[in-house]
Amino acid sequence: MINELNDINIATVHNPAEIAAHTTLSAASKASILIEALPYIQKFAGKTMVIKYGGNAMISEELKNKVMQDIALMKCIGIRPVLVHGGGPDITDFLEKIGKTSTFVSGLRVTDAETVTIAQMVLGGKINAEIVSRLNSLGIPAIGLTGKDANLLKAHKKLAEIHEANGQTNHVDIGFVGEVTAVNTQLINDLLDNGYVPVISPIGAGKGETTYNINADYVAAEVAGALGAEKLLMLTNTKGIYTSLDDPKSFLSSIPQAEATIMIENGTIQGGMIPKVEAVLHALQCGTKRVSIIDGREPHALLLELFTNKGIGTEII
Ligand SMILES: Nc1ncnc2c1ncn2[C@@H]1O[C@H](COP(=O)(O)OP(=O)(O)O)[C@@H](O)[C@H]1O
Ligand SMILES: CC(=O)N[C@@H](CCC(=O)OP(=O)(O)O)C(=O)O
């Protein structure tokens, strides 16, 4: 029955009216789609789930709205969603406008004093505000926060790690890049208890007035771990993890933690996927129950992952 939906190529139709126009689904099929979701709805009601929405998955207005609809639906059926967003491509664009080239080391942006100010501006001032508006307009009360609000994310400096072919790991100073040392879970839980959806920018509060730029994958993992979340869902711009990026058949629907570590060390996992997988492993070690990397380019990826028997994406087990 889900296949019936796939047959009408749901990836190319964009709103309920369009779907209705394209589909010949019988009433029974429509009902069975809803019934397939029933055990998941029962299981997940009241559970906290952290969603990481990566900048590379924020492709079109339509897709952004579909992600927001999914979060709205999750909230309406009693799930406690917490959204952590990225926005790397927008930061890069802004830096380009002022003539600055972006450099990354092991997936992390080299961040000087000017860059951290711009990261804070783009993430908190643009992307966060946009997401909050979209959720609010769907009738979901959302609160935008950076890690500085009530010290939501305390942080200190993080050195980038470079895994050399000889097995050695080198550490490199990449400026105002931070790692989370503490999460103000009370603030998040207070907001959730009062019916709000927290929307978090990956900016950390360092000592004094120091600001840190933190990779959003790490923030999502720390938040999920600190909350003991039922699930961490990483929305990105690829179907999940591949053993060879050029070979679609090498897609892995699940992968044991130990294997993921080896894939980072031997260079199978590269670039932006490194912080994502490191973050996922950390989240599992900190008490997050289940973690999946899913394709944010797929319309309604969150709903398909959560409420269908097959699910999508790569689960780290
Ligand atoms: N083994 C791998 N499997 C899947 N993706 C990989 C792998 N190694 C590197 N990548 C890259 O990681 C990218 C995802 O990271 P990134 O672009 O930073 O996403 P986001 O903006 O969502 O955080 C993929 O688009 C892909 O190009
Ligand atoms: C230190 C570091 O790399 N910070 C990231 C923060 C944004 C982010 O993580 O965005 P995505 O999720 O879209 O990649 C950056 O400056 O790009």
**pLDDT tens, position by position, 159-185:** 999 877 777 889 999 999 999 999 999
Distance 294 CA to ligand 1 centre (A): 11
- Predicted pLDDT of residue 20: 53
Whole-angstrom distance, CA of residue 57 vs CA of residue 131 = 13
Closest C-alpha to 12, from 66, 53, 89: 66
| pLDDT over 90 (residue 268) | yes
Q: What's the rounded mean pLDDT across residues 291-311?
A: 91
User: Residues 251, 138: one domain?
Assistant: yes
Residue 75 has pLDDT above 70, yes or no: yes
Q: Are 173 and 37 in the same domain?
A: no
pLDDT grade for 43, boundaries at 50, 70 and 90: very high
Residue 59 confidence (pLDDT): 86
Distance CA 237, CA 196 (A): 27
Cα(237) to centroid(ligand 1), Å: 7
Q: List beta partners, residue 178.
A: 157
Q: Which two tokens stand for residue 101?
A: 């080239």
Band (1; pLDDT cuts 50, 70, 90): very low
3-state secondary structure of 314: strand
What local confidence, expressed as pLDDT, does residue 310 receive? 81
| Overall average pLDDT of the 275-300 stretch | 93
Token readout for 197 is 């959806």
pLDDT class of 265 with cuts at 50, 70, 90: confident
User: What are the structure tokens assigned to 133, written together?
Assistant: 């508006």
Q: How many CB atoms lie within 10 A of CB 240?
A: 21
pLDDT of residue 25: 83
Q: Which atom of ligand 2 is nearest to the CA of 216?
A: 9
At 8 the pLDDT is: 35
pLDDT of residue 16: 54
Between 56 and 173, where is the model more confident? 173
C-alpha of residue 51 to centroid of ligand 1, in Å: 17
Same domain, 78 and 14: no
**Residue 208: pLDDT over 50:** yes
CATH of the domain at 231: 3.40.1160.10
What is the per-residue pLDDT for 98?
A: 97
Mark whether 15 and 77 lie in a shared domain: no
**Ligand 1: does its nearest atom lie under 6 Å from the Cβ of 215?**
no
Please state the separation of Cα 272 from the chain's center in Å: 12
Q: Tell me which residue has its CA closest to atom 6 in ligand 2.
A: 215
Same domain, 100 and 117: yes
**Ligand 2: distance of its center to the CA of 213 in Å?**
8
Q: For the segment 213-248, what is each residue's pLDDT rounded down to a tens digit?
A: 999 999 999 999 999 999 999 999 999 999 998 999
Per DSSP, the three-state class of 42 is helix
> Looking at residues 58-75, what average pLDDT do you find?
95
- What residues make up the domain containing 34? 1-44
- Answer yes or no: is the C-beta of 55 below 6 A from any ligand 2 atom: yes
pLDDT in tens, 131-144: 999 999 999 999 99
Shared-domain flag, residues 36 and 114:
no
Mean pLDDT in residue range 60-74: 95
Report DSSP state, residue 111. B
Query: What integer pLDDT is reported at residue 33 of this predicted model?
Result: 86
Do 62 and 107 lie in one domain? The reply is: yes
Q: Over 90: is that where the pLDDT of 17 sits?
A: no
Average pLDDT over residues 87-93: 97
Q: Could you give the count of Cα atoms lying within 13 Å of 159 in the half-sphere of its Cβ? A: 8
Are the CB atoms for 124 and 139 separated by under 8 Å? no
CB atoms within 10 A of CB 192: 18
4 pLDDT higher than 80: no
Share of the chain above pLDDT 90, in %: 79
**Angstrom distance (rounded) from CA 272 to CA 281:** 15
What the block records as the tokens of 174 is: 């990449």
Tell me: do 169 and 271 sit in the same domain. Answer: yes
ipTM for this model: 0.94
Here the tokens at position 33 are 């789609």
Looking at the structure, do residues 102 and 39 belong to the same domain, yes or no? no
Cα separation, 139 vs 41, whole angstroms: 20
Which ligand 2 atom lies nearest to the CA of residue 115?
A: 16
What pLDDT is recorded for position 15?
A: 54
pLDDT for 23 equals 61
pLDDT tens column, 108-129: 999 999 999 999 999 999 999 9
Q: How confident is the model at residue 13 (pLDDT cuts 50, 70, 90)?
A: very low
Q: Are residues 26 and 2 in the same domain?
A: yes
State which H helix or E strand residue 84 sits in. Answer: strand 80-85
User: Residue type at 192?
Assistant: L
If one counts the domains in the chain, the total is 2
Among the atoms of ligand 1, which is closest to the Cα of residue 54?
22
List the structure tokens of 70: 């999914």
Q: Is the dihedral of CA 163, 166, 167, 169 positive or negative?
A: negative
Which of 52-56, 77-81, 194-198 has the lowest average pLDDT?
52-56
Q: Do residue 12 and residue 89 come from a single domain? A: no
Q: Which of 88, 86, 79, 98 is nearest to 41 (CA)?
A: 79
Q: Answer yes or no: do 158 and 51 share one domain.
A: yes
Q: Burial of 193 by CB count in 10 Å (0-12 exposed, 13-18 middle, 19+ buried)?
A: exposed
